[in-house]
Structure 1
C-alpha cells in the first residue's frame, strides 16, 4: 500500500501528490478554457447547435451516459460494492435494461414530437401534449424539477467535496464549498455551450478509467474473489448473504433503480437533441457499450478495494474509487482520472442547474405569468436563477455531509424525479387516455410518496417494525419502487374519471408518423402548432440563444432541417 495515501483522513503527500494536484489544476483549466472558447465560437458560427438538434449519435450516446453517471458512478457504485460485495453488480440489473428501453421506446417519439411543437423543456412538452390551458401541469412539473434537480446538484457538489477532500486533505465542509464554487463558476462561464462535447471528452476518460482499473488491479493482485471470501462469505453472495424476504426486497430495490430513467430530464433532453431520428439506434449502441463497461468496472473497483485495503480500512466508502486509483496508477495518470471524475460531476451539475433554472424562468416566469420580457432580460433572469439554485444546492450539500453519495443521489434526486415524472412521461408518449387531472395527481403522489418513504424511521420512531419482519423490509425497500407504482396507479385512476384532450388523435399522429412525412405533409393543423405559427419559446438558456442567432442569420432554414 502506498504510504503517501492517508486512508482515514484523505489527502496526498509527497511527489505523487504534487503530480496529481498539478494535473487536476491543468485539466480543470483546460475544461474552463473549452467552455469559454465554445461560447465565443457559437456566437459567430452555426455549425454546432445543440438547441438546433445537431449533435451526432456518438457524442449523444456518450453525453447521455455521462450526464446520468457522474458522482453516482464514479463514487457511489464502487462504495456500494465495497459495502455489499458482488451484490453491488445488481446496480446494472435495473439500469442497463432501463436505459435500453428508454432508447427503444421513448427517444424516437420524444425527439419527433418536441421538434414539431418547438418544446425545449419537459414542462412545455407536457403542457402541449395535454392541451393544458390552466397552467397546472407546467407549474407542478416545474416545481418538481426545481426541487429534485436542485437536490441532484447538491448530490454532485457533495461528491465533488468528497473527491476534493481526498485530493487536498481538507475537511468535508471546505470540500463542499470549493466544489460548489467550481460548479457555479463553470456554469456561469458558459460551459453549457460545450456540455455535450465535454461530456463526450470526460465520459471517454471515465470509460477508459473503469476499463483499466480492474485490469490493473488484476495484473497486480490477481482475482479478488479469494480475498472476498476470506474477508466475509457474504461478499461472494449475489444477495449479500441474505435469504427469503430480505433477499427478495434487496433485489427489488436494485431493480427499481431503473424506474428512474424516464423521469430524469437531463437524460431525456439528450434524446431531444440528437441530430437525426435515424441515428438514435447508433447512439443507443454507444450508450449501452459505455454503460456495460463502466458499471461493471465500477463494481470491480469496489470489490478490489475490499481485497486490497480490507473492509474497515476506508472509513468513508465514497473514497474507494479515488483511493484505489491512487494505489494502482502513476501520479500523472491518476490525476487525469480523478480530474475527469471531478469534471464529470461538474458537467452533470451544470446540466442539472440549467434544467432547473429554465424551469424557473422559461416555464414559470415566462410561461405562466402575464409578462413580455425581452430575450436579454430572460437571459439575465436565467443567470440569477442559476446562482440562486446553485447556492441552495450548496446548502443542501452542507446539510447532507456524512450522507453517502449513493444514498444522496437515489433518495433525494433520482427517485423523486423518477416517481413524479416517469409515469407521466411514458403515458404522454404511449397512452391516449391520459388527462391533465391525472398528470397533476400523479406528479404530486409520486413526489410526496418518495419524500415520505425516505423518512419512515423518523416518522415512526419507536413504532418502526422490528428488523427482519416483512413490514420492516417493505418500509425499507428503495422508495422509488412503491412511489412509482402509486404514481402510475393514481395517474390511471384519475385519468379514467376525467376527459382526455380533444385532439389526442392528432397528437399521436405525430408520434406514429416518420418526421419527414409529418413535415412534408405540412401537418400543422393541430392546436399545438396554432395553424402553423411558430410557437418556439423565447430564448432563455444559452443554447436557445445560439438557435435564435443562427435563425436570424439565415443559416437555419427549411433546407437545413433534419427531417428523418
Structure 2
C-alpha cells in the first residue's frame, strides 16, 4: 500500500512542479492558450496522444469492445493510429497551422468566425463546445473509480477531489505549456505501463499462445463462427467498423485535438510529430484494445448488472486485480496520467473558448490581455470543479442522462465541426449556409438518436454524423453563395501572404517591411 501511495504522491509532486516551472510561458493570452505557437514535435505529439487516450479508453472502451469483438478490437487501435493520428497530422496539421496563423485564430470557434466571416457561427460553435465538452470532461473521472476500489482502500470522492485539485493547480499556473510538458511525462508512463500490463496479463493466462487457445474456445452469443473472438474481423464486423470510424475520424473535428496543430512549430516539426504520435497510438491504443480482447477469460470474476449483462467498466480492473502490487501501482499511475492529461486539455479548451469566443466582445465588451488571462484562469477552476461535481453526482445516483450525453459528445462535436473545418482549410467554395447545416445535422443527429435510437447505438449515430458532415458541406455549398477566401497563400519566396501584410501595414506595425519573408513578420 505504501509503495503505491508513494508512487502517486511522487507523480502529483512532479506535475505540480512542472506547472511552477512553466508559469513564465503563460504571461500572455497566446502563451496561455497555445504556448506561443512554438511547441516542438515531441511535446505536441505526446500532447495529442495523451489527450486522445484517456481512462475512458483504457478502462471503459477496452473492456466493452474487447468483450464484444475479442482480439479484433485491436483494429480499433490500428485505426486510431493510422487514421486518427498519422493521417490527421499529415492532412490537417500543416494546413491548420498555416491557416490559423494567417487568421490569428486561437480557438476553433474563432477560426470558423474569421474563415466564414460570421459572428453567429463563432458563438454557435463555442456553445456546442461548452455543452458537449463538460459531460465528456466528467467522464474522464469515471475510469478511476473501479481501479481505485481494486487497488486502494481510498474513497472514490477523495480520488476525484485530489485529481481535480492537482490538475487545476498546474493548468492555472502554466497554461498550455504546463499541459504539454506534463503530457510528455505522463505519456512515458502510459507507454511503459501498457507494455508491462499486456505482458503480465498474458503471462497470467499461460502465455500468449495459451491465452489465444483459451479465448478461441469461448462461444459468442448470436454467432455461429467457431473461435469468433480470435478471428481477424471478430463476430460483428459492421459495428467494429462503426467504432473505428467514430474513434479514429473523430479526432479530425474535436477542438481539443485540432488545437495541438495551432501551437506546433512551423517547418518539419509537423512531419516529425506525425511519426511520433502514430507510434504512440499504436502502442497505447493498440495495446489497450488488445488487452481488452482477453476480457472473456475473466467472465466468472467480473461484475454483472441485474439483467445479466456485464458491467464493462469492471472488466479491465478485474483483469489487473491479481497483478503484483508494484505493477498495480504503475497501472494506477498510468490511468491517472491518461485521465489528467485529457482533463487538462479539455478544461483549457473550454475556458479559452468561453472567454475568447463567448464572453469577450459579447458579454464583456472591453477585455484587456490581463483581464482575458484572469477570466481563463478563473474558468479553468470553474470547469474542473463542475466536472468533478458531475462525476460525483453520477457516481452516487441513478442518473443516466449525463452518461448518455458524454457518450455522444464525440459524435456531436466531430459531426458538427469535421466538414466545416476540413473543407474550410482546403476549399474557397464553402458557404456559410453549409456550415450551419453541418452544425444542425451533427448535433441533431446524435442528440435525436439519444432520444429516439433510430440509428441504434450512439457509436453508429456518431459515425454517421461525421460522414454526413463531410458530405453536407460541399453539397450545400453548390447551391448557396460561398464565402470568398484565398485558401492558398500566394506563391513566392517566404510564402508571402498579401492579406496578412495588408493587415500589418494598416495597423502600423513597427518596422514593417513589405518585402520581408512572412516568418519574420
Q: TM-score range by the shorter chain?
A: 0.7 to 0.9
Cα 1:522/1:301, change in 2 over 3 Å: closer
In the TM superposition, residue 219 of structure 1 has moved relative to its aligned partner by 4.2
- 5 Å-filtered alignment, 1:312-351, equals 312-314=301-303, 316-325=311-320, 327-328=322-323, 330-351=324-345
Is the 8 Å Cα contact of residues 102 and 500 (structure 2) preserved in structure 1?
no
Kindly indicate whether residue 87 of structure 2 is the aligned counterpart of residue 91 of structure 1.
Answer: no
| CA gap 1:182/1:194 in 2 versus in 1, 3 angstroms | closer
Contact 2:112 2:122 in 1 (8 A): yes
Q: Tell me, in whole angstroms, the C-alpha distance in 2 between the residues paired with 1:531 and 1:162.
A: 59
The answer to whether the Cα contact below 8 Å between 2:494 and 2:518 also exists between their aligned partners in 1 is no
Asked if 1:440 is matched to 2:436, the reply is yes
Q: Which is worse superposed, 349-358 or 391-400?
A: 391-400
Alignment partners' CA distance in 2, 1:264 and 1:497: 27
Equivalent residues in 2 for 1:23-34 (5 A)? 23-34=7-18
Q: What residue is the counterpart of 1:13 in the other structure?
A: none
Contact 1:165 / 1:171 at 8 angstroms: preserved in 2? yes
- Aligned residue number for residue 35 of structure 1: 19
- Residue 479 of structure 2: which of 486, 489, 497 is its match? 497
Asked whether the equivalents of residues 429 and 477 of structure 2 are also in contact (C-alpha less than 8 Å), the reply is yes
For the residue of structure 1 that corresponds to 2:193, the secondary structure is helix
Q: 1:197 and 1:321, CA in 2 relative to 1: closer, same or farther beyond 3 A?
A: farther
Query: Which shows bigger deviation, 18-27 or 76-85?
Result: 76-85
Which of 424, 427, 437 is residue 423 of structure 2 equivalent to? 427
Cα pair distance change 1:394/1:559, threshold 3 Å = farther
CA 1:196–1:559: 2 relative to 1, 3 Å: farther
Q: Following the alignment from structure 1 to structure 2, what is the Cα–Cα distance between the partners of residues 102 and 59?
A: 17
SS at match of 1:509: coil
| Alignment of 1:236 onto 2:230 | yes
Partner of 1:65: 49
- 1:451 to 2:426 alignment: no
Q: Any conservation in 2 of the 1:163–1:342 contact (CA below 8 Å)?
A: no
Deviation, 1:108, is: 0.4
**Which position in structure 2 is the counterpart of 1:262?**
252
The equivalent position to 1:157 in structure 2, one of 132, 135, 141, is 141
Name the residue aligned to 1:105.
Answer: 91
Query: Are the counterparts in 1 of residues 347 and 380 from structure 2 also a CA contact under 8 Å?
Result: yes
Task: Give me the whole-angstrom Cα distance separating, in 1, the residues matched to 2:448 and 2:241.
Answer: 22
Q: Could you list the per-position Cα deviations for residues 107-160 of structure 1 after superposition, in whole angstroms to 9, with x for gaps in the alignment?
A: 10111121222211111111221122xx11100110111112212211112223
Which residue number in structure 2 is paired with residue 114 of structure 1? 100
Confirm whether residue 523 of structure 1 aligns to residue 493 of structure 2. Answer: no
CA contact (8 A) 1:361 1:381 kept: yes
Instruction: Give the 3 Å change call, closer, same or farther, for CA 252–47 of structure 1 in structure 2.
Output: closer
CA distance in 2, matches of 1:195, 1:477: 29
- Structure 1 gaps of 5+ residues are 1-16, 458-470, 536-550
Q: What per-residue deviation string (whole Å, max 9, x for no partner) do you get for residues 449-497 of structure 1?
A: 111223325xxxxxxxxxxxxx7x7567621122223334443343233
Rate the CA distance shift 1:47–1:139 in 2: closer, same or farther, 3 A: closer
Aligned to 2:488, which of 504, 509, 512?
509
CA distance in 2, matches of 1:141, 1:103: 23
Count of matched residue positions in the alignment of Structure 1 and Structure 2: 495
Q: CA deviation at 1:66?
A: 1.0
Question: Structure 1 residue aligned with 2:356, among 340, 353, 362?
Answer: 362
- Secondary structure of the 2:408 match is helix
- SS of the counterpart of 2:488? helix
Q: Give the match's secondary structure for 1:231.
A: coil
Instruction: Pick closer, same or farther for the CA change 1:562–1:409 going to 2, 3 Å.
Output: farther
Q: Give me the whole-angstrom Cα distance separating, in 1, the residues matched to 2:326 and 2:456.
A: 47
Picking from 376, 383, 394, the partner of 1:382 is: 376
